[in-house]
Structure 1
Amino acid sequence: MAILIALFKTVRPRQWLKNFALFGALIFTGLLYQKGAFGLVTQAFFIFTILSSATYIFNDLLDVSTDRLHPFKKNRPIASGALPIPVAFFALISGTIIGLTWAYTLNLFFFISCLVYLFIQVLYTGFLKKIAIIDVIVIALGYLIRVYAGAFVISAHMDVWFLLTVISASLFLAVGKRRGEMTLMMSSGKGSSTRETLKHYTEKLLDIYTAMFATATWITYSLFTFNHPKIVPDGRALSLISILPKTLISEKWMMITIPFVVYGIMRYLQLIYEKNEGESPERVLFSDKPLIITVGLWVVVIIGVLYYIA
């Protein structure tokens, strides 16, 4: 049982939250209720959960020697010895084989996207995470690959503004992660030694990056919602034409979700700069009640607008 608990900690279950990006194409292309589509994307979600877990095991195996010398990372299951290296290696190989085999049964292009994801993660773990700027681009690329993978599995077409929004938001989260790490280290007086690339980022530079991608995120999302084609709902839809005055009738209802995105960005920035958080976007999304409520309402309103308003 102790080994299973150690393995569970090693695969970083909190990081699985990133894999919900696979549902993006399913929701925004109007295919949520298409027969079999939700099941396919759910399978893709579990496949990426298995494969991403394997990459975290690979990371800890590769860094085991340096982790054992680190004041905090030495407590990781593999570094501390709680998870034996042979067991971890077996889990890595098994997870990779199971994940790729399962992916191949779904869709060829989905399978290729899984291979690309694994290849990039291996490069990132090996040396790309040590190169400033490239490190945040690779982190953002991981989100983009997930979105494309979710689209491939259901053969969905993605709007260019949606892709630009994903890229902007991904870069914002990646840069925000680095800014959060720097803020935390500065407040604790530990310097930048725990992450090598932080030595090559200045506080001002990260502030510029953060502001740039925060702005790009809400602007591209606004343009995405403005240009989003109207989805013709089925019998579940509520016809607002017969309820609202003509003044309020619009085909741009998606734009009412913009305030949620703007607030979410502002709250995340507050967590980075005021509360010394943000170094782990996944942890923040799990622990910050205002963000949890905002994301929940955003999803509900999006589904309501796309699928239940005619």
Structure 2
Amino acid sequence: MTDTAVLRQRATPERRREPAPPRGKALLAGLLRTARPRQWVKNVLVVAAPAAAGELFSRHTLTRLALVFVLFTACAAAVYLVNDARDAEADRAHPVKRHRPVAAGQVPVPAAYAVGGALGVLAPLVAAWLCPPPVAALLTAYLAMQLAYCVSLKHVLVVDLAVVTTGFLMRAMIGGLALGIPLSRWFLITTGFGALFMVAAKRYSEAVQMAEKDGATRALLTEYTTGYLRFVWQLAAGVAVLAYCMWAMEEGGVPHTSVLPWRQLSMVAFVLAVLRYAVFADRGTAGEPEDVVLRDRALALIGVAWVAMYGLAVANW
């Protein structure tokens, strides 16, 4: 090779390799991660109303609830996919969110939109086919509300808290609607304000943890004060406890022949659970509610005691 050829070869800029398109398995894994499997535990709330009514242990009930759980999970996954596709550019500038599959390029933006849109259309259609009409209507309302949240409502003070709380309330309602179970007003108040308690505690914890940092994980954290968020979760905890006590004391005209008043005794476990969770909220370490619930042994034991007492009350033992 001549010296001229060598010089030309050195002068030729090296071509940049374009990232290869994601393969099938990598794409499926990325879509699954974007669907947030860790968050699916929230959808277990679909059993709340049937469990409270004592109508949980039958083949028809369990089959219908399993279907509703899958449909609600599909709707939630659709929202996550659309949200991540819409926020891909902003997420790439975030130190943590840049690792999300869509932001990292593992899932192309058009694919996230396509799969999210398909799930968002199919879930209500399947619900309309296999479930009572109110189930499909509630799923459609959930999708509309959550998509509006992704686009604009998450930037509106207080409304963002209300939307997230309503999402939890819808999860608790859908099981009753799927089985035609009347929903107690005290059950709805307890669930709604219990959800608001956890949502506000999560926001408060995030605000405390980000107080000394330049950025915030949520745009509105810079507008909320920690004092205001503390007021919200304390107010919500108080209302939730009061509503649960009213619910537990409500006889509903059903004769009770159990050895002990388990339904009323369950108030003790419920109050202890709220007080225990409030410890983490007060410390600013309730940013991940599922971690608090699953990792704190004392809270888990209190939860088991509450389930046992309420189960004995439902069984009238």
TM range (shorter): 0.7 to 0.9
**Does 116-125 or 277-286 show the bigger shift?**
277-286
Which amino acid counterpart does residue 100 of structure 2 have in structure 1?
A: R
> Residues 49 and 3 (structure 1 numbering): CA distance in 2 closer, same or farther, change over 3 Å?
same
Name which one, 1 or 2, has greater alpha-carbon Rg.
2
Classify the secondary structure of the residue corresponding to 1:153: helix
Contact kept, 8 Å, 2:142 with 2:170, in 1: the verdict is yes
Identify the residue that residue 170 of structure 1 maps to in structure 2: 195
Identify the residue that residue 80 of structure 1 maps to in structure 2: 104
Q: Distance in 2 between matches of 1:288 and 1:27?
A: 24
Identify the residue that residue 25 of structure 1 maps to in structure 2: 49
Contact kept, 8 Å, 2:262 with 2:312, in 1: the verdict is no
Matches for 1:84-233 after TM superposition, within 5 Å: 84-105=108-129, 106-186=131-211, 189-191=212-214, 193-229=216-252
Structure 1 stretches of at least 4 aligned residues deviating more than 6 Å after TM superposition: none
Q: Distance in 2 between matches of 1:51 and 1:283?
A: 23
Matches for 1:249-264 after TM superposition, within 5 Å: 252-264=261-273
- 1 or 2 for the larger relative contact order (CA 8 Å, sep ≥6)? 1
Percent identity reads 26
Classify the secondary structure of the residue corresponding to 2:179: coil
Contact kept, 8 Å, 1:21 with 1:146, in 2: the verdict is yes
What number of residue pairs does the alignment pair up? 292
Deviation at 1:62, TM superposition (A): 0.9
> Residues 198 and 146 (structure 1 numbering): CA distance in 2 closer, same or farther, change over 3 Å?
same
Contact kept, 8 Å, 1:25 with 1:158, in 2: the verdict is yes
Task: Compute the TM-score of the two structures, normalised by the length of structure 2.
Answer: 0.86
Q: Which of 290, 294, 301 is residue 286 of structure 1 equivalent to? A: 294
Q: Which of 279, 282, 288 is residue 270 of structure 1 equivalent to? A: 279
Identify the residue that residue 6 of structure 2 maps to in structure 1: none
Contact kept, 8 Å, 1:132 with 1:197, in 2: the verdict is yes
Deviation at 1:283, TM superposition (A): 3.0
**Does 25-34 or 207-216 show the bigger shift?**
25-34
Contact kept, 8 Å, 1:16 with 1:49, in 2: the verdict is yes
Which amino acid counterpart does residue 193 of structure 1 have in structure 2?
A: A
Contact kept, 8 Å, 1:228 with 1:254, in 2: the verdict is no
Deviation at 1:287, TM superposition (A): 2.7
**Does 176-185 or 281-290 show the bigger shift?**
281-290
Deviation at 1:115, TM superposition (A): 0.2
Q: Distance in 2 between matches of 1:46 and 1:294?
A: 28
Q: Which runs of 5+ in 2 are unaligned?
A: 1-24
Deviation at 1:167, TM superposition (A): 1.4
> Residues 287 and 260 (structure 1 numbering): CA distance in 2 closer, same or farther, change over 3 Å?
same
Classify the secondary structure of the residue corresponding to 1:214: helix
Deviation at 1:43, TM superposition (A): 1.0
Q: Which of 279, 297, 305 is residue 297 of structure 1 equivalent to? A: 305
Deviation at 1:117, TM superposition (A): 0.3
Which amino acid counterpart does residue 137 of structure 1 have in structure 2?
A: A
> Residues 298 and 290 (structure 1 numbering): CA distance in 2 closer, same or farther, change over 3 Å?
same
Deviation at 1:77, TM superposition (A): 0.8
Q: Distance in 2 between matches of 1:91 and 1:286?
A: 31
Identify the residue that residue 18 of structure 2 maps to in structure 1: none
**Does 122-131 or 282-291 show the bigger shift?**
282-291
> Residues 283 and 217 (structure 1 numbering): CA distance in 2 closer, same or farther, change over 3 Å?
same
Task: Compute the TM-score of the two structures, normalised by the length of structure 1.
Answer: 0.88
Deviation at 1:144, TM superposition (A): 1.4
- Asked if 1:7 corresponds to 2:25, the answer is no
Identify the residue that residue 48 of structure 1 maps to in structure 2: 72
